[in-house]
Structure 1
Amino acid sequence: MGTEQALTVAQHLLACALEDLSEWPGQKVIAPSHESDCDWASQLLEGKDNLVVPQGSGNLGERLNHIDNELRLQGKENLIYIGSDCPTLSLKDLSDTAQRLKTYDTVFSKASDGGVTIMANRTHWPDLSELPWSTGSLGVSLTSLCRQSRLSVGYAPSGQDVDHLKDLLGVLPELNGDNRPARRALAKHIQSIFKQGKTSHA
């Protein structure tokens, strides 16, 4: 997949995440990678109560700790984190996670590749900087760290994320049964990618 094609996929994935956020009844936060992207990020969602918190620097764990600290300084408590790489998420998944946060300090949705598709917490995260991000052992390591920090751990239903080209085919069956506009558009684009691939190798 070329750079232009990858960018188009990323835009479709972002549209799916924004579709999830637009349905969420609570306050919404967008965390762009760089502070220079804050103006752009602030225009992605409608509504006056949305927050934009840049991720800061460091690895993913350090950036998550930064976002978490910033939001708790503003008095936020129950937080649910999703990325833009899980187009199979739904409002029900987020609602189930929020419900489980009433019982557990942390809640995770396991990804099929060993990572997580949802992270949620009702108290500060422990130091996440040393976790094996982007590996198949992340989910187990994250759970272990939380329990070592005396935080209870609960689980929401498992999901699938998109890290590689082949993952697009993995989420396609579920997308084909999803009537939300951004999901329909992504499914159509995935089908076009693999149709072109078959044609070019014929």
Structure 2
Amino acid sequence: MPDRSPSLASRLPTLVLVCKRPAIGHGKQRLAGSLGAEPTFVIAERLLDCALEDLENWPGATVIAPDLAQHRNWASAVAPLSCCQPQTPGNLGERLNALDRTLRAAGHRSLVFIGSDAPALRECDYRQVRNALDEVDTVLLAARDGGVVLMASNRPWPDLTALPWSSAALGQALAEACRGAEHSLRVCGESFDIDEPADLDHALRELADDPRPARRRLIHTLATGGGDHP
């Protein structure tokens, strides 16, 4: 288990998981259109498990941020060692800005945001981000489709409301917004997230030798077509 002593945690960034509670018809609809609702739901659960695995292994403070306030009890149950801070209404940019303000007001000084659909994130990626935050204001980890899989900053985010979320232009637009707010910025490499059916094949290849338990369960689910719900 990671060392979560207060003295260490206070020196490390806080990892924030921005997520939805998996449900039939809620999220990952581009996958559902190809795979069907039930297999997509199972895959969404496995993807969330991977992100929860990262929360559990983070050496500092952690936060889970479900998209709906009524999912607070669920979120607290699946991430019992994390603070639960539900998102507020609005588009993704508005929700991230509001979440960022709330957490900074509560004393979190450096925040690392991830979603629940980037299972290829590894400890080496997180370590690189933590090291970079010692040297620059803001750190991004790019997605191969033009988006981002991780966004971290020692400073409040600029206004994210009008950014082209869920598009190939997001990564560049986010970087430009940060530079426009006079953030020193570093892009620490590239990974991928799961949006389209083709991304599942990529995950099978990239995670084939990953020993982490949640990743092994995800690989088994993908290899069986998402039909192994308990």
Match of 2:200 in 1: 168
State the secondary structure of the residue aligned to 1:178. coil
Pick from 46, 53, 67: which aligns with 1:33? 67
Letter in 2 for 1:126: P
What is the CA distance between 1:194 and its match in structure 2? 8.6
Q: Alpha-carbon deviations, 1:166-198, whole Å to 9, x = none?
A: 111112112111011111111111111199xxx
Letter in 2 for 1:152: S
Match of 1:108 in 2: 140
- Structure 1 distance, partners of 2:76, 2:186, is 32
Is 2:47 the counterpart of 1:17?
A: no
Match of 1:84 in 2: 116
Q: Alpha-carbon deviations, 1:121-147, whole Å to 9, x = none?
A: 001000000000000010000001111
Match of 1:200 in 2: none
- Structure 2 distance, partners of 1:194, 1:11, is 10
The 4+ residue runs of structure 1 with deviation greater than 3 A are none
* More helix, by proportion: 1
State the secondary structure of the residue aligned to 2:161. coil
Match of 2:38 in 1: 4
State the secondary structure of the residue aligned to 1:57. coil
Q: Alpha-carbon deviations, 1:92-146, whole Å to 9, x = none?
A: 2112111101111110000000000110000100000000000001000000111
In the alignment, structure 1 segments of 5+ residues that lack a partner are 196-202
- How large is the RMSD of aligned CA atoms in angstroms? 1.3
In the alignment, structure 2 segments of 5+ residues that lack a partner are 1-34
Is 2:158 the counterpart of 1:126?
A: yes
Pick from 43, 57, 63: which aligns with 2:95? 63
- Structure 1 distance, partners of 2:219, 2:226, is 11
Pick from 65, 78, 82: which aligns with 1:44? 78
What is the CA distance between 1:91 and its match in structure 2? 2.0
Compare 77-86 and 152-161 and name the one that shifted more.
152-161
Pick from 151, 157, 168: which aligns with 2:183? 151
Give the percent of matched residue pairs that are identical in Structure 1 and Structure 2. 42
TM-score (norm 2): 0.81
Number of aligned residue pairs: 193
Which protein has greater RCO, CA pairs closer than 8 Å, 6+ apart? Answer: 2
- Structure 1 distance, partners of 2:101, 2:36, is 37
TM-score (norm 1): 0.92
What is the CA distance between 1:46 and its match in structure 2? 3.7
Letter in 2 for 1:142: L
Letter in 2 for 1:12: R
